[in-house]
Amino acid sequence: MNYFKLLTLLLLTFVLYYGQTEQIQVFAEGNYEEKHQSQDDKSLDDDFWEDIGEFIGWGAIIALGITGAIYPIRRIIKLNGINNFGIKKTCISIAKFLGKNHLFIGILTFLLSIFHGLTMYLSELKLDDEMVIGLASLLFMGIAIIVGVVMFKNKKFLKLKKAHTTLMALTLLTIIFHIISS
């Protein structure tokens, strides 16, 4: 829970700091009016929401990477030749942390993704193709979370693990496609 508080504090600090600063452009040739008039279609408020949305989106990607890191770390632990230099101990402690917090970080990733989508929509106020791709990835992630929560409560269903992993793979593919298209 301390990690969540730290993440929330860092996010709040970024939003407060970024919200208070203004970007002022100074041009040596005195063409301030020309540059300023070319930005009439986007106000500073739209730029603010877009920047916040991009920041939150990358935070969601990082949280998704942390959540998904449990699978390769568990594979590394099973390897025979990693007893050198305490790598196995470190991997086991990381796997325990990720196993304990996997559900929490997954839900945090989903919430960050929702906030990312809302802020990006507020910055443009229209639904583009890349936003539709983002919504598809959010849908896959939501279904994967529902399957994961059911699997967490009923550990007997091994088929749910395959469904959860497959849905998250689809989520990852659509997220990659979303990033490339934007």
CA distance 78 to 88: 9
Main-chain phi, psi angles of 155, to 5 degrees: -75, 0
Q: What pLDDT sits at residue 126?
A: 86
For residue 133, which of 73, 88, 176 has the smallest C-alpha distance? 176
Q: What pLDDT sits at residue 21?
A: 44
CA distances from 175 to 61, 98, 126 (A): 9, 22, 20
For residue 138, which of 105, 176, 175, 101 has the smallest C-alpha distance? 175
CA torsion angle for 106, 108, 112, 117 (degrees, to 10)?
Answer: 60
Q: What pLDDT sits at residue 31?
A: 53
What tens-digit pLDDT sequence spans the chain (182 residues)? 455 555 565 555 655 555 544 444 555 555 555 445 455 555 566 688 888 999 999 999 999 999 999 989 988 888 766 666 677 888 889 999 999 999 999 999 999 999 999 999 988 888 889 999 999 999 999 999 999 999 988 877 777 888 999 999 999 999 999 999 88
Q: What pLDDT sits at residue 91?
A: 85
What are the extents of the domains in the chain? 44-124, 127-182
Q: What pLDDT sits at residue 68?
A: 93
Q: What pLDDT sits at residue 11?
A: 56
Q: What pLDDT sits at residue 155?
A: 76
